[in-house]
Structure 1
Amino acid sequence: MTEAPHVLVNEADGVLVATLNRPEKLNALSRQTLEILESAVYRFRDSPSLRVMLIRATGRYFSAGADLREAGVSAPPTSGTEIREMHRLHLNGMRRMYDEMEAIEKPFVIAHQGPCVGGGLELSLSCDFRLAAASASYSFPEGKMGVLPATNGISRLVRLVGAHWARYLVMANLPANAQKALVMGLVHEVFPDEGFDDAAMAFCRHLVGNNPDQMGAAKVAIEIARELGVTQAASVERLANSALMLAPAYLEGMRAHVATIGTKTSG
């Protein structure tokens, strides 16, 4: 019997939906999973009609992390340099894809309907918005094996939740349920399990309705501003708006808004 694709990809209302589809393997990230996901990322990047990309999953787990059965096929590394280069260049293209997701000036949304573990969590850290069902949970099991999550697990985690909560997840090696993840700032919103898929799609449709140039500029400006002091970050805001405020849509919208205000005042 032919195995089902590890990821299902479809389009709906300007949203590219990629659904992890290995429920019997707890959606472990196989080579095929990452290849299909990366192809979907490039399709999203290169298609003007696609405004938002949603990553979600079937089954009781969002993802149990990397497929360790596949990882064990190749010969183990023999030096520290080889390990560092493996993390930088290989791992089925994880880092390349994650970097591209952060660079694309469109929003990525990821929706966790269940436990999100290890590599699944590292994938999530590269997305712009993380949504959780009440049943979702988060953990890095790498600590139990005496190593660190090294493909976003430290670098992007700290930037999102700060050193305080990164210590909890990585040093203490403790899991976080959906509500604790919300407190950490790891997820943006928690929804009831029932109707979670609909809530995630509603969030994506809201983003589709936003101004794409504004969202793209905001994504770049926010990324730059968090690395700068207040004065330099304010210059980034001005640079971004110097382009946005010349757009015909903005000028027309402002004229209409001012006219509306004038009508209300005169009345």
Structure 2
Amino acid sequence: MEDKELIQVETEGHLAIVILANPPVNVLTDQIISELDAAIEEIAKLPDIRAVILRAAGEKAFAAGADIGQFPSLTEETGIQLVDKGKRVFDKLAASNVPVICAIQGLALGAGLELAIACDIRVVEEDAKLGLPETGLGILPGYAGTQRLSRLVGIGKAKELVLSGVLLSGQEAYEVGLAERVVPKGGAFEAAKELAEKVAAKGPVAVANAKRAINEGIELPLAEAQELESYLFSKLVGTADMQEGVKAFKEKRKPVFQGK
């Protein structure tokens, strides 16, 4: 796949690897967000992709935040336009049919952390630094950080992190539920890739439906969420993938799913 200037996309089997490449700390400028948007669109058109890994180049940072230089000239109108663009792109990533696993090293601050929590699963190195320091700049997290963070770690912990701007180590982020796996320094990408390969080996339609059930169900009352789950289950019954999965189980072999 053709590389962008600040976003690189590689494919490896059923995996797509999206790399933030804006050295030295991968600041999320307007350009890189636009390129990320285009990369998400391109990956969605690749039928063989079953999992996405989002990582960053360099060792200093996954992404150290948004471009602070743009803030002083913002008006109320342009401020809304700025955050709405980021929300739209991050929402598109979150709504992707395939799971997105984020590998975090170094700094994941502000918009960088908001990007990470728009992903499905986060693998973080133990010495990383994560936080939403926006209130120290007189603003608040505007790329859905206040909303997604509270859904991940609970309202009280989200308030503590957002209102104080305190930074967490990778280990601390794992302990509060902000990351799903913590690994030694230098190990985030390989651990994310190992997990992505496990996901890619499962039935892709089943994975997509399961992701939808979790994402949409959490916003619904339990009874309605269970109805959604039943509906999505019913759409898998009788598929070729289900037949293959059951057959492979009986034959004690690995299934070969076609995504049908």
What TM-score do the two structures reach when normalised by structure 2? Answer: 0.87
What per-residue deviation string (whole Å, max 9, x for no partner) do you get for residues 199-249 of structure 1? 222122122112111111011111221122222222112111111122133
Partner of 1:156: 148
C-alpha separation in 1, matches of 2:248 and 2:131: 49
Equivalent position of 2:258 in the other structure: none
1:117 maps to which residue? Answer: 109
* Cα distance, 1:255 vs structure 2: 5.0
Q: Which residue of 2 aligns with 1:263?
A: none
State how far apart, in whole Å, the 2-side matches of 1:131 and 1:139 are.
15
- The structure 1 residue matched to 2:240, chosen from 235, 248, 252, is 248
Structure 2 residue 137 is matched with structure 1 residue 139: no
Give, in angstroms, the shift of residue 173 of structure 1.
Answer: 1.8
Q: Does 1:211 align with 2:203?
A: yes
Report the equivalent of 1:30: 29
Contact kept in structure 2, 1:115 and 1:135, CA below 8 Å: no
Q: Which residue of 2 aligns with 1:57?
A: 56
Counterpart amino acid of residue 141 in structure 1: P
Change (3 A) 1:101 1:181: same
- On the 8 A contact 1:125/1:152 being kept in 2, the answer is no
Q: What is aligned with 2:159?
A: 167
Gaps of 5+ in 2: 253-260
Q: CA deviation at 1:195?
A: 3.6
Aligned partners of 2:86 and 2:143 also within 8 Å: yes
SS for the counterpart of 1:23 is coil
Show structure 1 runs of 5+ residues with no match. 261-267
The alignment covers a number of residue pairs equal to 248
Tell me which stretches of 4 or more aligned residues in structure 1 moved more than 6 Å.
none
1:257–1:57 Cα change, 3 Å: closer
Q: CA deviation at 1:83?
A: 5.6
> CA offset at residue 178 of structure 1?
0.9
The aligned counterpart of 2:19 is 19
Q: For the residues of structure 2 that align with 1:13 and 1:255, how far apart are their CA atoms?
A: 24
- Write the distance in 2 (CA, Å) between the matches of 1:7 and 1:33: 7
Instruction: Return the match for 2:224 from 211, 219, 232.
Output: 232
Deviations 1:76-127 (A, max 9, x none): 31x4xx26632554xxx31111111122211111110111000101111211
Deviation at 1:7, TM superposition (A): 2.2
Query: What SS does the corresponding residue of 1:49 show, helix, strand or coil?
Result: coil
Shift of 1:252: 4.3
Contact 2:105 2:186 survives alignment (8 Å)? no
Seq. identity, %? 29
Does the CA-based 8 Å contact 1:87-1:151 persist in structure 2? no
Q: Does 1:40 align with 2:39?
A: yes
Partner of 2:182: 190
Note the C-alpha offset of 1:188: 0.6
What is the root-mean-square deviation of aligned Cα atoms in Å? 2.1
Contact 2:125 / 2:187 at 8 angstroms: preserved in 1? Answer: no
Measure, in 2, the Cα distance between the counterparts of 1:8 and 1:87: 23
Match of 1:86 in 2: 81
Query: What is the SS of the residue equivalent to 2:235?
Result: helix
Structure 1 residue matching 2:108: 3-state secondary structure: strand
Tell me if structure 2 keeps the 8 A contact 1:13–1:205.
no
Aligned equivalent of 1:103, options 70, 95, 104: 95
Is residue 74 of structure 2 the alignment partner of residue 76 of structure 1?
yes
**SS state of the match for residue 61, structure 2?**
coil
Aligned to 1:264: none
CA–CA separation in structure 1 for the residues paired with 2:183 and 2:244: 37
TM-score normalised by length of structure 1: 0.85
Instruction: Determine the structure 1 residue equivalent to 2:257.
Output: none
Distance in 2 (CA, whole Å) between partners of 1:259 and 1:125 is 39
**Larger helix proportion, structure 1 or 2?**
1
1:10 positional shift: 1.4
